[in-house]
Each structure stands twice: as structure tokens, then as C-alpha cells.
Amino acid sequence: MNRLGFLTRTPRWAIAHKFPAEQALTRINDIRIQVGRTGALTPVADLEPINVGGVLVSHATLHNEDEIKRKDIRIGDMAVVQRAGDVIPQVVEIKPDKRPADSKPFEFPTICPECGAHAIREENEAIRRCTGGLTCPAQAKERLKHFVSKDAFDIIGLGDKVIEAFYDDGIIKHPADIFTLEERNGSENDDLFTYGNEGLHLERRVGWGKLSVNNLFKAIRARRIVSLPRFIYALGIPQVGSATALLLAQNYGTFDALQHDMMLRETAKLVAIDGIGGEMGNDIVEFFNEQHNINEIDKLRQYIEVENYVDERRNDSALSGKTLVFTGTLEKMTRAEAKALAQKLGAKVAGSVSAHTDYVVVGVDAGSKAKKAAELGIKTLSETEFIAITEL
């Protein structure tokens, strides 16, 4: 699923079911290749802007190389574009009879359009990737953006545009550079005429002033102590989102313990974690054995402190160690709140009812899961009963 990027969480059919898809016919003006944080080359169609169901659409995803080939999508083609829910619009089909006479099949690049390194495609992979690593500016910028993003270091003042400008000007090339900004900025008394020689003087940049620079430094200082899940997530390990970062924090407790096991390729504990598959486990181990990642982590830890993870899940509640399944609509809280509450009390929340389920919490309009619970003789709880149990 991860390979399709934006389709990560909700399967496409689920969205299509909820929102009727809207379609329109328009021209593909260009096909651009975007390079992501992990080097993935993603083709995007620039469209002649068109209104699709009340929204102006000017680009659509083309997913990957094979998709372009399968649908024979070319620059200049007239395409049926579809929008469903808040998913990025996509090209459903093209109209070959409306194709210009001089049209040529699209050739997918085999070198990275951002850095010129070879872009290769592993066997059984749908995605072609730039091999430039950190020397690829596109990848480096995307990693920095990820590092400061909301679920990672959450540094206000370092938005996408600022990261790009600071990267291009050599001010921030690596995550660790963020934490030396203030020190490198120079003294207030530096002579204006020697600008450039005695410090960065960010306050002299267009669009910046003393106040915004001070606010930025303050935001950065506030992040010198970071929680373990945030730190793991910020590293940008392939396939490791914030939920997986939390799992790793809960199971290893300290960054040193995690790094130690990974560097020695001791994976017994890792693969025993519910929710971490073999392929993801491999990616995690490889990440920690890559020399440039080791250097980056060492450098970062000179400036920041990673907190040990304190597990706040209780083991003395009525729900500790129990497996719960929610079904139907809850009225006093959202599903996410109920789930978080149960987990905090030490319960595990499963997606489907099985013989291992302890309780099925039944909301309004419950469907097949309530029926299955009855068949298997599993105890069901109303929302009120569930709330009562959480207060025990």
C-alpha cells in the first residue's frame, strides 16, 4: 500500500463508495516527475485546469511507470480525470482518437530529474528510485521537511518554503544544522558591511526580521528535548510512520536499546512486535546499518536529548490485557477517542471479531461484527457499559 503513497490509509474502493466520483475531460499539458523523501520518482500530470464536481483540478497523479504504460498516457492527450472525496485526482483513461498526430509514447526517465543520479527499479517493485541518497537535493529537502513536520520535531517557523530556501543557500543541509543555526547566526554587533563574513544574520534576509528570527530560535530551543516516538519518526526510516514509531518506543524504551539491537541485526524482539512485518523489519535494520544514517544520528545527539519512553498504559485496569473490537457508531465519543482510551487502559483494539476477542463494544447501527460476537458467544458491551468499565 505504501508504494501508492497517498492511498496509504483508506482503500480506494472505500472512498469511492462514500463519495460519488466526479469525472471530466481535459488535456494533459505535461508529465512531471516528482522525487520524494525516499527517492521515489512519482509521475504527475499537469492538466489544462478544469472544474470537476465544483473543484478546480490542475494536476492528477499517474501513480507509476507501469500505469502510464498500461494506459498509454502521453503529453498532449485528452484524458478523463476523476476526483473522489479528498483523494488526489487521477486519470481514468485517455481518448486515443483525440490524440495529436505527432504524439509519442511517454518515456519514463532512468536518471533522477533533480540530481542526475541513476534511477533504478528493483525487481518486483512498482517504483523507480533515485540512487543519489542524501546527495540528491530533492531527497534531502523532503527529509528535512519530514524532520520538522508536525508529528516529528514540529518546529514552527521552518515551513516547506523556508526549508527549500535554507537548503538552497547552504544554511541547512542536514537535520543537525537546525540546532546550530542560532550559534552560526552571528552577533548583533556585526557590521552590516561585512555581511556574509561573520555569521548567517537570518534577520537580514528578505521577509525576516529580528522578531521572526528570535521566534524561530525559540521554537528550535524548545525541541532540544524530544520524545522517543517523535525522534524515531523524524529519522524517516522507510515504512515507519508515527504509529510504528510509537510501537518501537513502547517495545524498546530507549533509543540506545533500539539502535543497539538494530546495529547488531538482532531482530527477535523486533519481528515479535504485533504490527511490524518482516519487510518493514528489514528496512529498519538496514536503516540503522547505513553509515550516513549512523553519522547523522551521532551528530544530532550532540545537540538534542531523546527522552526515554515511559509507558503510560495501565496494567491494573479492568481492560488491561483484554482485546476489544468496536462496531457501530458511538454517541458520546468518537471511535478514535474510544480506541485511545481503551489502549491507555492497557487493552488491545482489534479490527475483527475472533475467538481471541474479549469484548465487542456495540454502537448504533452495528453490523456483522455484533452478529459474529453472538455466534462466538463473546460478551458485548453497550457504549454506556464500556464507559462504566473504563471507570472501574
**Which residues would be at the binding site for Zn ion (CB under 5 A)?**
112, 114-115, 117, 130, 132, 136
Give me the least distance between CB of 189 and Zn ion, in Å please: 42
259 or 293: CB nearest Zn ion: 293
CB 244 within 8 A of CB 280: yes
Cα gap 32→36, rounded to integer Å: 13
Give me the least distance between CB of 162 and Zn ion, in Å please: 22
Cα gap 29→349, rounded to integer Å: 47
236 or 328: CB nearest Zn ion: 236
Give me the least distance between CB of 132 and Zn ion, in Å please: 4
Place of cell 462466538: 376
Give me the least distance between CB of 115 and Zn ion, in Å please: 3
Which are the contacts of 282, defined by CB distance < 8 A and separation ≥ 6?
none
DSSP string, 287-330: HHT-HHHHHHHHHHTTT-EEPPPP----SSSTTTT-EEEEESB-
40 or 262: CB nearest Zn ion: 40
Which are the contacts of 43, defined by CB distance < 8 A and separation ≥ 6?
31, 32, 33, 34, 61, 62, 63, 64, 65, 67, 68, 108
136 or 324: CB nearest Zn ion: 136
Cα gap 28→300, rounded to integer Å: 44
Using DSSP, state whether 59 is helix, strand or coil: strand
Give me the least distance between CB of 386 and Zn ion, in Å please: 51
3-state helix, strand, coil in the chain (%, to 5): 40, 20, 45
120 or 340: CB nearest Zn ion: 120
Using DSSP, state whether 353 is helix, strand or coil: coil
Give me the least distance between CB of 362 and Zn ion, in Å please: 52
Give me the least distance between CB of 176 and Zn ion, in Å please: 21
136 or 373: CB nearest Zn ion: 136
Cα gap 63→43, rounded to integer Å: 6
Give me the least distance between CB of 86 and Zn ion, in Å please: 29
C-alpha cell at 332: 458520546
C-alpha cell at 135: 546527495
117 or 366: CB nearest Zn ion: 117
130 or 232: CB nearest Zn ion: 130
